[in-house]
């Protein structure tokens, strides 16, 4: 799987794939940077599933690595110069998709579709917790959030599509 993302102004783009490399541009495409996240963050195994930009320019990258003990979400707050893990509190399970909550102007609230349900962080990945009373705790492979943040839709493996008001 190859994940792609654009910031709200379409100036910052990112694309990642299987070998742990994230390619991104900060100027709308003329210049691209490539970082190998396997080398940049100890424990990150690749299998990039989902990058996401905040309006402030932070880049988050999720991994659907099946390997036990893998780092599954990393972030860069300085245009890709340095990277840090942002998966504290997530289960030891693949992260298939991350989406930013558009209601959070600081860009700290994200939802993650994992192999055991949906999780949310409100502190930029410093801690995560299970989200969604009534959502099934099953593989959640696709997330979509309305532009106003009023509805989160979750595509699951084997349990259909669910909708919740965050």
Say how far apart CA 110 and CA 161 lie, in whole Å. 19
* Element containing residue 39 per DSSP (H, E): helix 37-40
Summarize the confidence of residues 50-67 as an average pLDDT. Answer: 93
Segment 64-82, tens digit of pLDDT: 999 999 999 999 999 899 9
What pLDDT does residue 1 have? 55
| Global pTM exceeds 0.75 | yes
Residue 55 binned pLDDT confidence (cut-offs 50, 70, 90):
confident
In total, how many domains does the chain have? 1
Range of the domain at 112: 3-164
Segment 134-145, tens digit of pLDDT: 899 999 999 999
Assign residue 21 the CATH number of its domain: 2.130.10.10
- Write the CB contacts of 9 (distance below 8 Å, at least 6 apart in sequence): none
Beta strands 73-76 and 84-85 are antiparallel
Residue 116 in 3-state DSSP? coil
- Write the CB contacts of 160 (distance below 8 Å, at least 6 apart in sequence): none
């Amino acid at each position: 799987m190859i994940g792609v993302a654009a910031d709200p102004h379409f100036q910052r783009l990112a694309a990642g794939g299987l070998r742990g490399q994230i390619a991104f541009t900060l100027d709308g495409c003329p210049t691209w940077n490539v970082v190998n996240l396997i080398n940049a963050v100890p424990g990150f195994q690749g299998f990039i599933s989902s990058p996401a930009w905040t309006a402030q320019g932070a880049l988050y990258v999720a991994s659907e690595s099946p390997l036990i003990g893998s780092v599954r979400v990393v972030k860069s707050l300085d245009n890709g110069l340095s990277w840090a893990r942002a998966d504290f509190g997530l289960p030891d399970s693949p992260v298939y998709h991350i989406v930013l909550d558009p209601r959070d102007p600081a860009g700290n609230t994200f939802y993650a579709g994992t192999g055991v349900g949906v999780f949310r962080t409100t502190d930029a990945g410093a801690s995560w917790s299970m989200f969604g009373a009534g959502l099934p705790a099953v593989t959640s492979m696709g997330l979509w959030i309305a532009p106003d943040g009023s509805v989160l839709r979750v595509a699951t493996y084997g349990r259909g599509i669910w909708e919740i008001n965050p």
